Structures are given as C-alpha cells and as structure tokens.
Amino acid sequence: MKKKLLSILMATALVASMTAGCGNSASTETKSETKAGTEAVTKEDTTKGSEDSSKGGEETDIGKIYLVSKGFQHQFWQAVLQGAEDAAKEYGVEIDFQGPDNESAYAQQVQQLNNAINNNPAVIGLAALDTESCMDSIKTAQAAGIPIVGFDSGVPGAPEGAIVANASTDNYAAGELAGEETYKLIKDKISSASGPVRIGVMSQDATAESIINRGSGFVDKMKALIEADGKTVSVEGHDKWANKTDGADVVIEVVVPASVDASLSAIDAQNLLNKPDTICIYASNQFSGEGLVNGDANIGKLGKDVIGVAFDSGAQIKGAIKDGKLAGAITQSPIQIGYKTVELCVKAAKGEKVEDVDTGCLWYTAENMDDPEIAANLYD
C-alpha cells in the first residue's frame, strides 16, 4: 500500500513539473512579435524603468540604436546625449547619436536619417527639425517596418503609425508655466501703467514644433491672465502668432530672426529693449535666452527696467539668473529625454508596447536653482 501511495505522489509531482515548464515556454513566445507590431500601453508601464526585466547592464541583442537629434550646437543636446548614454549602458545596447551642424540644416538631418534607415536598424530615434522635410524618409522607414521613437519636439504630422511613441517635454504646458510665473512678476506694472506696455517674446524660429508650442503656451496664458484682470491685449509681430487689436493696454510682440544666427537674435533683443514701453521679455529656448543676455550687454536694462525670463539653462543663462539680470527660467529634463528615448527604443525594438512619456519641466530662480530636484536638470 505504501509503495502504491509513493508511486501516485511521484506521478503527480512529475505532471506538475511538466505543466510549469509549458508555462515558461509560452511566455517566451512574445519575443517573436515584429517591429511593426508595436502598440500603445499606459504611461505608468513605460516609466517603471527599474522594474524592467531588460535592465541591468546585460547586453540586449537588438543591434545599434540610431538617434538623429537636432544638433550639437547647444549644451542641451549634450545633456540629451548624456541621458541616452546612461540608458544605453544600463540596457546593454549601442547607440549612434547624430545631429546637423545647426537647426536650420534640414537637408543634413534628412541625410543623417537616410543613413540610419539604410543600416536597417531595429528602431530609430528622431527629433525632427521639420517633419515635412523628413516625410519621404519617414515613409521609407515605415515601409521597411522600422519603428521611430520621437524625442524633444517629436515628429508632429508624421504618417499615422510611423511614430510609435515620443519622449518629450509638453512644450505648450511649459510655455504656459512660463507665462504664469512671468505674470506674477509683471502684474503690478501692468495694473499701474498710465499707458500701453509691451511684452517681448523671442523665438529661435517658427518651424520647430517645440519652439512654436513654447511661444504659443506663453502667449495664450499671458493673454488670458491679463484679460482676466480687465486689460486688453494685442498680439503682434510674427505672422505665426499675430492677432492685432487696436488701442490695446498690453502689446505682446513676438520676434523671430531671419535665420538661426546668434548675432540676429541679439539684435532682436536690442530692438525690444530699446522700446520705451517694454516691461518684460521672454526667450523661449537657450539660443534666444543667450541672445537676450548678449543683446543687453551694452544697454543694461535687464533686471532693472525690464524683467527677463528664459527657457532651458546653460552657463550664460544660469549666470544671468544668479546675477539678477534674468528673473528665472523654465528647465526641461534633457537627461531624462535622452534616457527615456533609449528606453522606449529598446522596448519598441523588442516588440513591447510603448506610449508617449512626458519628461516634465520646472521653474527655477536664483532662490531655488541649487535645490537637488532643480540642479539635476541644469547643465552648463
């Protein structure tokens, strides 16, 4: 009887072990999903990071990840690269990070994107200078089943399904935050003014989606706050934003240089600073922020007659905030943009589900820029 009972128990254990083995085999089958089969998933799943089974520095066999950025001319992109390299090390992948000589070099970026596609990678990361210029290349990648992960401004207007996810700042919301914080600084000046006053908005260009959204977020929020306090607003300057109202209490003037040239940006700043009704100037990225500071070098109105507000960081902008020439700025998290781009690329290349990740933004001033949460996102 005991022998019979022992035989039954051994048989039961054997069946259980075979069942468990079948379960493990089924779970590995999900790795066979194709590159074109990437689907959406909740944002929480994409931000777990440390819980991802592919992390830990072990080599991931997906080949080289090609990242085509907008350039290397700003320290911002060096910080994005740092984040990308951090993620590459953690996920055990190799990256190729490229960018054009400047943010007007559309043709050069298209060539870099084509070179990446010609290598038939498992995935590409792209921060498009101009989606229309990249359109044929994007369609080629899509036809080849190569998923694209957008970063920074992403790839707005791309064919449906070509961009599987984006790692980026919500630039419109960041512009709104800049508008809210700036209005606190100039509200009293507007309410007590005996005549019209002017708010300048400096934009690097009117083509990059990220730059456009930062300007639009600021202009829309500022206009709404001013009108809520009973004043009228006229938005003037560049056609992208202009909505003129005669006899307005406040003029918001948006200026864009003819090309992405530091000297032209400084001239824009000088023109705004020399207008006697200017009370504030907002510069919507590092390039225009530096143009604002440089333009004031021989005028000396910033921090005195005119309140200056910037976007991004860099040594010059941080120094101007510490010196009181600029009241504050919005910082993105460029390291997080780079890190999350590679993280999304790894998942997309493996056929895992991905969704857009908002990498966030913060308002910083001389008072809080050394706080750990802020300082980690500021670069030289």
Please write the tens of the pLDDT for every residue from 157-211: 999 999 999 999 999 999 999 999 999 999 999 999 999 999 999 999 998 888 9
3-state helix, strand, coil in the chain (%, to 5): 45, 15, 35
Q: Are 268 and 182 in contact (CB under 8 A)?
A: no
Ranges 47-51, 173-177, 284-288, 362-366: which has the least confidence = 47-51
264: closest CA among 236, 292, 285, 241? 292
- Confidence at residue 46, expressed as pLDDT on a 0 to 100 scale: 35
Say if residue 3's pLDDT is above 50.
no
Split at pLDDT 50, 70, 90, the class of 58 is low
Q: Is the pLDDT of residue 156 over 80?
A: yes
Q: Supply 148's token pair.
A: 């694209």
Coil, strand or helix at 6: helix
Q: Which of 33-42, 43-52, 264-273, 362-371 has the lowest mean pLDDT?
A: 33-42
Q: Can you give the pLDDT at residue 326?
A: 98
Q: Are 344 and 354 in contact (CB under 8 A)?
A: yes
Please indicate whether residue 167 or residue 53 has the higher confidence score (pLDDT).
167
Contact 260, 237 (CB under 8 A): no
**Which is nearest to 99 in space by CA: 123, 76, 120, 132?**
76
- Cα-to-chain-centroid distance, residue 378: 14
Q: In the predicted model, what is the mean pLDDT of residues 77-90?
A: 95
pLDDT of the residue at 10: 42
pLDDT for 75 equals 82
Check whether 140 has a pLDDT greater than 50. Answer: yes
- pLDDT higher for 251 or 30? 251
Q: Please provide residue 98's backbone torsions phi and psi, each rounded to the nearest 5 degrees.
A: -130, 165
Q: Given this model, what pLDDT does residue 164 score?
A: 98
pLDDT beyond 60 at 81: yes
Confidence of residue 41 (pLDDT cuts 50, 70, 90): very low
Is the predicted pLDDT of residue 18 greater than 90, yes or no? no
pLDDT at 240: 95
0.75 cut: is pTM over it? no
Pair 43, 357: CB distance under 8 Å: yes
Rounded to an integer, what distance in angstroms lies between the CA atom of residue 153 and that of residue 127? 6
Query: Higher confidence at residue 53 or residue 316?
Result: 316
Give the residue-averaged pLDDT of 38-64. Answer: 49
Mean pLDDT of 49-74: 71
Domains located in the chain, CATH noted: 34-168+335-359 (3.40.50.2300), 171-332 (3.40.50.2300)
User: Using 50, 70 and 90 to split pLDDT, how confident is the model at 57?
Assistant: low
Model confidence pLDDT, tens digit, residues 322-370? 999 999 999 999 999 999 999 999 999 999 999 999 999 999 999 999 9
* 213-240 residue pLDDT tens: 999 999 999 999 999 999 999 999 999 9
Across 261-281, average pLDDT:
97
Mean of the per-residue pLDDT values for the chain? 87
